Structure 1
Amino acid sequence: MINNEKIFLRNSAPERSKRIVEAVFRCKWSLTVYQLLAEKINRPGEMVRSVEGLTTKVLNECLRKNIEFGIIKRIEYNEVPPKVEYVVTPFGEKFINILDKLVELESEIVV
């Protein structure tokens, strides 16, 4: 008698992480924002002034999306004028490390 029981199931990418990676790579500014935060440039006005072609509107959309994913968080200070800063979350640190590994892997791809 032959046992037809399957030992392995079809493996696929984790659904939530896959959506995050797709969204980050679709947004051409997310990687730049991570680079700015790594350089301790964490205020929106300073971010816009530091990158040619980056607008406040696009930056805000990018920041909002990354906040929804839990990659970065917004810190509001109760000051006049209002002060806002963005920082990478512990989850964001792990996620950005994975993206860095993908960039390293890209350099090893032979076409």
Structure 2
Amino acid sequence: MNTKEKLFLRKSAPEKSARMVETIYGCKWSLTVYQLLANNINRPGEMVKSVEGLSTKVLNQCLKKNIEFGILNKINYPEIPPRVEYQVTEFGQKFMRILDDIEKLQHEIDA
């Protein structure tokens, strides 16, 4: 009989952050949206006009996911006509640095 005490428990991926990375990479437009925001294109109409193949419906779904994760923040301006802009949150900046590191890792793997 083995009376040795187990020192380690099974380690699993962090549930929320792993799902977040999977969802963002699974959405083919999220990385493009981040690129647009980095280039100061932060209004939905500008985003749709700036990217071939991006529809308003798909953009809105993508933006909604990113807001739910806390990566982006939606700013509503009380103007007529209404104006909406998106910005990266402090958490989103951290998350995007992690995505940049993953991309660098991919380049190392490909080399």
Relative to the length of structure 1, the TM-score reads 0.94
User: 1:12 Cα shift?
Assistant: 1.4
1:33 paired residue number? 33
Deviation at 1:35, TM superposition (A): 0.6
The corresponding residue for 2:19 is 19
Question: Which shifted more, 3-12 or 91-100?
Answer: 3-12
Structure 2 equivalent of residue 60 of structure 1: 60
CA RMSD of aligned residues (A): 1.3
Query: Structure 2-normalised TM-score?
Result: 0.94
Q: Name the CA distance, whole Å, in 1 between partners of 2:89 and 2:69.
A: 10
Secondary structure of the 1:74 match is strand
Alignment correspondent of 2:80: 80
State the distance in 1 between where 2:51 and 2:68 align.
Answer: 23
Could you tell me which runs of 5 or more consecutive residues in structure 1 were left unpaired when the two chains were aligned: none
Q: Paired residue for 1:98?
A: 98
Bigger mean CA deviation after superposition, 5-14 or 52-61: 5-14
| Residues 110 and 54 (structure 1), Cα distance of their counterparts in 2 relative to 1, 3 Å cut | closer
CA distance in 2, matches of 1:10, 1:108: 29
Structure 2 unaligned runs (5+)? Answer: none
Paired positions, count: 110
How many Å apart are 1:3 and its aligned residue? 5.2
Deviation at 1:13, TM superposition (A): 1.0
Identity score, percent: 65
Aligned equivalent of 2:42: 42
List structure 1 segments (4+ residues) > 4 angstroms apart after TM superposition: none
Shift of 1:6: 1.4
The answer for the alignment partner of 2:107 in structure 1 is 107
